[in-house]
Amino acid sequence: MHRFLGVLLQVGLGCGGLGAWAASAAPYEVEQGFEDEQELFALWEDGTLSAESWAALVSLRRAGVDVERASRGALYALPGLTYSEVDARLRPSSSRRGVLTEEEARRLAPFLVKREPEGVSGDARWMTAFSASDSLAPPVALQLRAGGLAGIRVGLLATWARRRLGDLHREPRSRALLVGAPGAALLVPKFHGQWMGTHAHVLVGTYRLGFGQRLTLDTTSLPAPEGFLPDDGVKPLGGLERECLLVEAGCDAATRGAEVTPDFRWDEGFRGVAGTVRGAVGEGLLLTMTGFGSYQSRSLQRSEVLDAVTCPPVSMEKGRCEALEVLVPVARSRRERLRAHTVPGVFREWAGGGNATLELSPRARVGVTGWGASPVWPDAVGRLDFRPGARYPAGGAFGAVGVDAAWGVGPVDLFVEGSRAFDSAPGGGGGWAALQRTVVSGTGRELELSLRYRGRGFINPYGGTPSEPEGLGVRLRYVHRQAETWRFRGQVEASEGRRRLRASARVDWRTPTWLQPSLQLKLRESGVGQDEACSGADGEQDEQDSCSRGSRYEVVTQARSVLSESVEVTARYGGARVVERGRPVARWDGHALVGLKVRAGDAARFGARVQWKDEDLSEHTRLLREVRTTVDGGWTALDALTLRGRYAWVLDLKGREAPRHLFQVDVETRF
């Protein structure tokens, strides 16, 4: 074990900080190009931003940061600020409190908010999407926030869904599980009302929350969460899906190969009550106490559900149980199998807990977090439970308790959190986990060394690291920014449990403005020399799955040219060598992008991109080869109304199908 830790540290120090792991969202892969959610989605879509960074930046944009009143964690979540730069703004004697440079103000503008003006203010955002192949009316989503009187603010997310599945239930005679046929429905999945005072904050509705180092509890995706945030987020629509939600045999000829725009989707956070009180308990000591309670309906993938009626535990242990089979009534006496992976409202969940944090200074604190949850399976579904490998532990109630602490002096900050997860799984009972971070920061540079441990049985669906493999792990990260000249970001992560190594490095030259090249290297090795089988059904496997084995070596080059304050051109090309599990010959992937941005002051923006992606250059039928052309734009009128539009033309070169056309429209107004 000691030898393995030594190897990990040598790899980390030798690589100078390459790679990424899902537990950390800051610093982000890039620090520019975040004008609105359209820009964020484009960066996530082309692989520039990870899913974790995208989620954090969207949450940050919706919440907003007031630099004059923000805490250390909130300021650190902003792109491009190190702890040292944040602390310089928090010192009582500092003249930089709430002051940003011209470059920072321009880059961070989408995330900043001002002190609320007197009277009512808010915003409303209406979204829709449609395609040329749609046979249904387009989906619609509405986000609304308003407030300003006596510290009260309200918000909601409402959607019009065209293909909403009915409730899950069991047919008494056949004991089969059924869902109602998909149909139209008006849904209000998210809503909130909150009151913010000087020493207290109360929210009723849907929210995200997190504390400490995100090990015990975090659903915010922010790098340094400090409590709860209102939740009214919605996921962007990135493509089309099959119109028929049944297996192919159950689809009629008209819909068997047809595609439609999907309904809007969202993350299912907590729904209930959350409150915080804070106050001084001694000279220089600040105590913050937060409590929450939630009752939420949760969706599940069929591969996560175990039906004890058709699959007893003995069969499950022998690997004889496949994914949950769900039927859909299509006629009076006809049932067809559901093809869709996710089933809404499978169970209800009671959850509650809290956090107490004693702050000695902005850089020193100690906190305790605890929470518990209990799944409630409706009587109509019978004996269901979670399968091994699901996000939730089987058997009944589960939860976690943890202690975190932080201390800093000079350029060094130390963070630590230990956590114990509990569950009711047979033969389980939970497990231990720990995370320690050391951060050394200065102006424009930051070095972080993180060590973590995840014991067998530590299953925490609401921690910030739910997919980390068991065993020990180490991560080394370094960021260096030389004014406006160049920026380097590197990271390496190695894990003992699955013998996983992930590394990446990226350097961006920012001068001269007419030619700003960048070079990025990525490496991923997973499961080398191991033969254990991966769990999971339906063949569903995410690229981030720690149980997947293979390797990927990738090089990406890019040239960005800022021709003027109004025109910007980007060209990118990347290639990768991939060794897949079970395939003796490596494959070569390629991707390229050419993009154009045109701005007309602050009132209008136009962008166009052409992307090509091929997941196996030598194979003409397997995997993906597509060309995607995207045109988007935005126009702001009278500082109160913003119109945005996006059109995507997608051609699958290996499938040899007709091109896909997807349109999106977004109207936002402020009052």
Look at residue 643 in the predicted model and tell me its pLDDT: 93
Span 390-436, pLDDT tens digits: 899 988 999 999 999 999 999 999 999 999 999 998 877 889 999 99
Q: Which helix (H) or strand (E) holds 344?
A: strand 342-361
Look at residue 140 in the predicted model and tell me its pLDDT: 95
Look at residue 376 in the predicted model and tell me its pLDDT: 94
Look at residue 94 in the predicted model and tell me its pLDDT: 60
Residue 273, in any domain of the structure: no
Q: Are 563 and 594 in contact (CB under 8 A)?
A: no
Distance separating alpha carbons of residues 612 and 628, to the nearest angstrom: 6
Q: How many structural domains compose the chain?
A: 2
Coil, strand or helix at 225: coil
Global confidence as pTM: 0.87
Which strands sit side by side in the sheet containing 168-170, from one edge to the other? 168-170, 177-179, 326-331, 334-337
Nearest to 155 by CA among 226, 234, 221: 234
Residue 402, in any domain of the structure: no
Q: Are 27 and 80 in contact (CB under 8 A)?
A: yes
Look at residue 126 in the predicted model and tell me its pLDDT: 95
Look at residue 498 in the predicted model and tell me its pLDDT: 65
Distance separating alpha carbons of residues 27 and 24, to the nearest angstrom: 8
Q: What values do phi and psi take at 116, rounded to 5?
A: -65, 130
Nearest to 245 by CA among 130, 311, 342: 342
Span 84-123, pLDDT tens digits: 988 888 776 665 565 677 778 888 888 888 766 567 888 8
Distance separating alpha carbons of residues 572 and 557, to the nearest angstrom: 6
Task: Name the residue range of residue 88's domain.
Answer: 24-112
Look at residue 621 in the predicted model and tell me its pLDDT: 80
Look at residue 314 in the predicted model and tell me its pLDDT: 59
Distance separating alpha carbons of residues 350 and 293, to the nearest angstrom: 8
**183: number of Cβ within 10 Å:** 11
Span 292-339, pLDDT tens digits: 999 999 999 988 888 887 776 655 555 567 778 888 888 777 888 888
Q: Distance of alpha carbon 98 from its chain centroid, rounded?
A: 29
Nearest to 632 by CA among 607, 605, 660: 607
Residue 590: which residues within 8 A CB-CB, separation 6 or more? 573, 574, 575, 576, 612, 613, 614, 617
Residue 582, in any domain of the structure: yes
At which of 112, 139, 156 does a domain end?
A: 112
At which of 112, 140, 158 does a domain end?
A: 112
Residue 39, in any domain of the structure: yes
Look at residue 565 in the predicted model and tell me its pLDDT: 85
Tell me which residues of the chain have a pLDDT lower than 50. 1-25, 528-547
Extract the tokens encoding 374.
Answer: 């209990």
Residue 291, in any domain of the structure: no
Q: What values do phi and psi take at 512, rounded to 5?
A: -75, 160
Look at residue 96 in the predicted model and tell me its pLDDT: 58
Nearest to 134 by CA among 113, 160, 159, 162: 162
Q: Distance of alpha carbon 52 from its chain centroid, rounded?
A: 4
Question: In three state form, how does the secondary structure of 312-329 look?
Answer: CHHHHHCCCCCCCCEEEE
Look at residue 2 in the predicted model and tell me its pLDDT: 39
Q: What is the largest CA-CA distance in the chain?
A: 77
Residue 549, in any domain of the structure: no
At which of 91, 112, 133 does a domain end?
A: 112
Distance separating alpha carbons of residues 662 and 261, to the nearest angstrom: 8
Residue 344, in any domain of the structure: no
Residue 540, in any domain of the structure: no
